[in-house]
Amino acid sequence: MRCAWAMLGAWGPQAAAVLVAAAMVACGSRPEAPAETGSGASAAAAAVEGPLPAPSAEDRAAAAEPEAELPELPPKPARALPEGVFVGTAREIPGSRIEIVVRAGAVTEARYAGPTADEAPIALSDRGRGDADALTLTGRNERDYVQLRGSFVDAERIRGTYRGGLASKVVEGEWYAVRR
């Protein structure tokens, strides 16, 4: 008998269903009509599983509760500006000079001078948030303008991008400054 059941299992569920139906006809009982949707295996599984159980009171209460919102992350704390005098240059303009003085956590003085001594220095003002991650300095004189955006790499160095109009020529690039 075990061998017969093993053979039926090896043939698959549809072959087993056909053999069971044939045995029922031979014994005088009528097999039920197969379900119209799905294979014989899925119909048999649906008959075994039956209807889904009703949700419990706890499940209904959990579904009725509004979904908890994730808490917002606190804003990243601003890094304070390191104290000191930082001197640097715009890389694409040899001879240019950038000076930034930081006192009491704020830019107290900043200026840009072009590559030639006769160009008037541009006083830069702090237009950004004034923290070490978002430093923005802009300024202009009679002919030229310059804008520096950057951040302090550490207490000794500043790096950023540069855009300026010097003698009616727009120049863009990178700048850096180190603490003196």
**Domain positions in the chain:** 2-51, 84-179
Q: How many helices and strands in the chain, by DSSP H and E? A: 4, 9
Altogether, the residues listed in the chain come to a count of: 180
Closest alpha carbon to 94 in 19, 166, 9: 166
> What is the reported pLDDT for 80?
84
Ranges 38-42, 156-160, 165-169, most confident: 156-160
For 74-116, the pLDDT digits (tens) are: 877 778 889 999 999 998 888 889 999 998 888 888 998 877 6
Closest alpha carbon to 127 in 136, 117, 118: 136
Q: Reduce the DSSP state of residue 46 to 3 states and report it.
A: helix
Q: Which of 158 and 168 is assigned the larger pLDDT?
A: 158
Closest alpha carbon to 82 in 132, 124, 129: 132
> What is the reported pLDDT for 85?
96
**Has residue 1 got a pLDDT over 60?**
no
Helix axes 13-27, 40-49, angle to 10 degrees: 70
C-alpha to C-alpha distance for 143 and 17, rounded to whole angstroms: 94
Overall pTM surpassing 0.85 (yes/no): no
**Has residue 72 got a pLDDT over 90?**
no
Amino acid identity at 63? A
Statement: 84-179 belongs to CATH 2.40.128.30: yes
Edge-to-edge order in the sheet of strand 169-179: 122-123, 106-113, 97-103, 84-90, 169-179, 157-166, 145-152, 135-140, 125-126
For 37-68, the pLDDT digits (tens) are: 555 555 555 555 667 777 888 887 777 777 77
Output phi, psi for 63, to 5 deg. Answer: -70, -30
Share of the chain above pLDDT 70, in %: 65
pLDDT average, residue stretch 136-148: 85
Local confidence band at 7 (pLDDT 50, 70, 90 cut-offs): low
> What is the reported pLDDT for 57?
81
Q: Which residues pair with residue 106 across a beta bridge?
A: 103
Per-residue tokens: 84: 């000191």
Task: Work out the mean pLDDT of the chain and round it to a whole number.
Answer: 76
